[in-house]
């Protein structure tokens, strides 16, 4: 086992009833790496992310987070705590808390989980919201924010917990085209600052310039992976070629 592996998946499987969604995933992510996961819908990309933070505990296989196996005790409390203190997640549908303002969305977990004082958590939230370009929206409620703004609040909310790894689950797929860039810009900046990130996305452009590695998945397995220019420009596998053909055509 590589000692500097932030995350290591070993033979991870997951099925829902008869549907085998993940059929043996091996993947290593080093500290500071930005891994973009591509693949057709239904290929298991989102489930992979949900397994990593135990929203869906894997059926089989091991996941090592900073060297600690988090799949031993079937969702024991300490495993959940261990994972969720280290892994932040951003969702396709934002999932902001609609009854809380932007800043409260960013402070609530800091106060309940990390026991940060109101003052400390508010300062942290302000700094983060400023960083994602929302300094003027602190008191706004989610239904008064655009999709892009909501998603940026969601990123700030996850960052407030000081995660070591960030998971992005098709975070721009529910956005109007003109709002995609503002979210990707935030993610690009985060990547430049050295955050370890796993990004499930359909944004080939983002993968090309921001990813340190691209992983292509289909039908619950990793088909191929490598440097963006290798996978995206010279794919070796037929299925990767097909998929990229379809995505890049239009």
Residues that bind another protein (CB under 8 A): 16-17, 19, 21, 41-42, 44-47, 50, 53-57, 74-75, 80-81, 84-85, 87-89, 91-99, 108-109, 112-114, 142-143, 147, 150, 154, 157-158, 161, 174
Nearer to another protein, 5 or 87 (CB): 87
CB 60 within 8 A of CB 9: no
Nearer to another protein, 13 or 212 (CB): 13
Min separation Cβ 239 and another protein, Å: 18
Min separation Cβ 64 and another protein, Å: 18
> How many CA atoms, within 13 angstroms, populate the side-chain half-sphere of residue 204?
16
Distance (Å, whole) CA 152 – CA 150: 5
Min separation Cβ 13 and another protein, Å: 14
- Can you give the length of the chain in residues? 250
CB 179 within 8 A of CB 208: no
**Residue for token digits 């693949």?**
39
Nearer to another protein, 62 or 230 (CB): 62
Q: Which residues contact 191 (CB under 8 A, 6 or more apart)?
A: 34, 197, 210
Nearer to another protein, 176 or 242 (CB): 176
Min separation Cβ 90 and another protein, Å: 9
| Sign of the alpha-carbon dihedral angle for 10, 85, 192, 107 | positive
Nearer to another protein, 158 or 197 (CB): 158
Of 50, 61, 65, residue with least CA distance to 7:
65
Min separation Cβ 93 and another protein, Å: 5
Nearer to another protein, 2 or 125 (CB): 125
Nearer to another protein, 208 or 239 (CB): 239
Distance (Å, whole) CA 86 – CA 81: 9
| Sign of the alpha-carbon dihedral angle for 161, 167, 170, 176 | positive
Chain-centre distance for alpha carbon 70 = 18
CB 10 within 8 A of CB 64: yes
């Amino acid at each position: 086992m590589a000692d500097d592996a932030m995350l290591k998946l070993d033979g991870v499987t997951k099925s829902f009833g008869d549907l085998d969604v993940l059929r043996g995933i091996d993947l290593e992510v080093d500290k500071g790496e930005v891994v973009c996961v591509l693949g057709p819908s239904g290929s298991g990309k989102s489930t992979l992310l949900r397994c990593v933070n135990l929203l869906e505990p894997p059926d089989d296989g091991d996941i090592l987070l900073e060297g600690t196996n988090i799949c031993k005790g079937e969702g024991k409390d300490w495993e959940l705590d261990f994972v969720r203190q280290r892994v932040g997640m951003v969702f396709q549908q934002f999932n902001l808390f609609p009854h809380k303002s932007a800043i409260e969305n960013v402070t609530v977990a800091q106060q309940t989980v990390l026991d940060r004082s109101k003052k400390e958590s508010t300062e942290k939230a302000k700094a983060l919201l400023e960083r994602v370009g929302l300094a003027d929206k602190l008191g706004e409620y989610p239904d008064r924010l655009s999709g892009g703004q909501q998603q940026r609040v969601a990123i700030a909310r996850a960052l407030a917990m000081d995660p070591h790894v960030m998971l992005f689950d098709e975070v721009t797929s529910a956005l109007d085209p003109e709002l995609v860039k503002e979210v990707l810009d935030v993610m690009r900046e985060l990547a430049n600052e050295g955050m370890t990130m796993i990004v499930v996305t359909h944004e080939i452009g983002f993968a090309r310039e921001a990813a340190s590695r691209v992983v292509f998945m289909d039908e619950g397995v990793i088909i191929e992976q490598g440097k963006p220019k290798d996978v995206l420009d010279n794919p070796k596998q037929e299925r990767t070629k097909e998929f990229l053909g379809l995505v890049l055509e239009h």
